[in-house]
Amino acid sequence: MKKLLTTLILGTLMLFYGTSSALAVNEAQNKLLAKRAAQADAYRNLAETVMGFNIDANTYVRDFVAESDQIQTDLNTFLKGAEVTNVFYLPDGTCEVTVSMTIQQIVTELQTIHRARYVYIKGRRRWRLRDFDQIVVHHPQLTFVTAKGSGVPRSSAQNINTNKSNESIVTANIPGWEGVTPQGRLMAERAAKTDAVRNLAETVYGLRITSQTYVRDFVAESDQIQTMLDQYIKNVKQISPYRYTPEGICEVDVEVSVQDVIKQLKTIHQDIVRRGWRWRTVEHRTINFEEIIGYTPIKIIRATGSGVPPEKYRQDRSPTSAGLTSFAPPTPAWATSTIQAKGTGIQAQGISPAEAYLSAERAAKIDALRNLSEQIYGVRITSQTTVRDFVTQYDEVSANVTAFLRGAREIETRELPDGSIEVVVELPLNGLYQILKPRI
């Protein structure tokens, strides 16, 4: 009996220590996995920051990197050697990593890559070693370049359980976010940032360059132009921390100055011209992007994005919480429609017929846009709210709607029997919905 009791005690102790050891190993492994994920995210964010550095007033590091895949690979490999300056673990298993590198190290590496990967355009070297020294001049406030990244252990993302200790500590006490795991929170944040950038792009593409040309018309020249501009927009500045609403929605704000957009458009244009592009639209060869300033009242373009955590990353799956987590307002019917408006202009007397026609056409278009704006402002969002209410209440909405209206497309121009000119314009309302969605 005594021998049996001794055997049971020893077996229990072995089981206890074995389980404890396994748990300790599992915890250590989870920490390592979370750190690796956070570190990869930090390197990715560091690369985005470096790509946005100015080499000169109109040229960025991303322009140099775009010369070849080899250059991009060389730079990415170098940036992965950035020093890890801080590692912080939250109780919910999320790891936050900060990496850092001096700006002079980056400049030196770009020059090294340049030496190894000479780039010639039509027999002439496009980049010079001393060009990269200007990065320090254009960013005098920077000595160190830092970036943060977040990650969770893969096992935590795949094996969701009902243990409240796996709840994200960042959103643990926020109504509507009960039981959301760290992975769910991170995915909601990334979805919100992607949505914000997409909404910002809608406004940028709607900027008017001339009386009949918009940024989207210039972009439509080639997939290459669209890729270059999209890459720039993806790196716009985030101007707010993430917000977590009681409806289970994560929100974030981004912005870019109109002047910076103009600089980037000029850079893209110069690059395309240098390559001898055969323009489909001849006017785009000599386009003046500075004219954008005269057509838009806004100096800063802002946009808000929204995202929700996927349902499988919420531990508490009661009907109430599930409804909150999966909340995603359906696109209203009005947002899928296109509206049209007409305007008329009278041909003036005492001037040449051509001048009279053009003058009347301009007046007709102005009248059409005015009528279109009245329709836009009268669009009913709810039974008690119209677009005009949003425009009156929020300055940024007012500026964005004004820019959106300037994107109206002229679809018909005709001379009426009485000699007046009639112009018909139209505008899809999906872009308006993207502007208002964060406020609805």
pLDDT digits (tens, 9 = 90+) for 171-194: 878 888 888 888 888 888 888 888
Highest mean pLDDT (candidates 54-58, 119-123, 407-411): 407-411
Confidence band of 321 (pLDDT split at 50, 70, 90):
very low
Indicate whether 262 pLDDT > 70. yes
Is residue 167, in this structure, part of any structural domain at all? no
Q: How far apart are CA 254 and CA 238, in angstroms?
A: 4
Is residue 6, in this structure, part of any structural domain at all? no
Confidence band of 261 (pLDDT split at 50, 70, 90):
very high
pLDDT of residue 257: 92
Higher-pLDDT residue of 53 and 106 is 106
183 with 324, same domain: the answer is yes
In the chain, % of residues over pLDDT 70: 82
218 with 130, same domain: the answer is no
Is residue 58, in this structure, part of any structural domain at all? yes
Indicate whether 305 pLDDT > 80. yes
At 98, give phi and psi (nearest 5°). Answer: -115, 130
292 with 386, same domain: the answer is no
198 with 258, same domain: the answer is yes
Is residue 158, in this structure, part of any structural domain at all? no
Is residue 243, in this structure, part of any structural domain at all? yes
Domain that holds residue 257: 178-328
Boundary (domain end) residue, out of 328, 359, 394: 328
Higher-pLDDT residue of 426 and 391 is 426
148 with 204, same domain: the answer is no
Buried b or exposed e, range 244-253, using 16+ CB within 10 angstroms: bbebbbbbbb
Highest mean pLDDT (candidates 73-82, 353-362, 390-399): 73-82
Confidence band of 259 (pLDDT split at 50, 70, 90):
very high
Boundary (domain end) residue, out of 328, 352, 384: 328
Is residue 400, in this structure, part of any structural domain at all? yes
pLDDT of residue 255: 92
Q: How far apart are CA 178 and CA 287, in angstroms?
A: 53
- In DSSP terms, 146 is beta-bridged to 100
Is residue 19, in this structure, part of any structural domain at all? no
Q: What is the pTM of this model?
A: 0.53
Long-range CB contact pairs, 272-278, < 8 A, 24+: 272/221, 272/222, 272/224, 272/225, 274/121, 275/121, 277/221, 277/222
Tell how far CA 277 is from the center of its chain.
28
136 with 224, same domain: the answer is no
pLDDT of residue 364: 87
State both tokens at 266. 């000029």
302 with 359, same domain: the answer is no
190 with 305, same domain: the answer is yes
Confidence band of 440 (pLDDT split at 50, 70, 90):
low
Q: How far apart are CA 404 and CA 200, in angstroms?
A: 11
Higher-pLDDT residue of 400 and 347 is 347
Q: Which of 163-167, 204-208, 249-253, 305-309 has the lowest mean pLDDT?
A: 163-167
72 with 197, same domain: the answer is no
Average pLDDT, the chain: 78
Boundary (domain end) residue, out of 286, 304, 328: 328
For residues 85-107, average pLDDT: 84
324 with 194, same domain: the answer is yes
298 with 340, same domain: the answer is no
Indicate whether 44 pLDDT > 80. yes
309 with 414, same domain: the answer is no
Structural domain count of the chain: 3
Is residue 171, in this structure, part of any structural domain at all? no
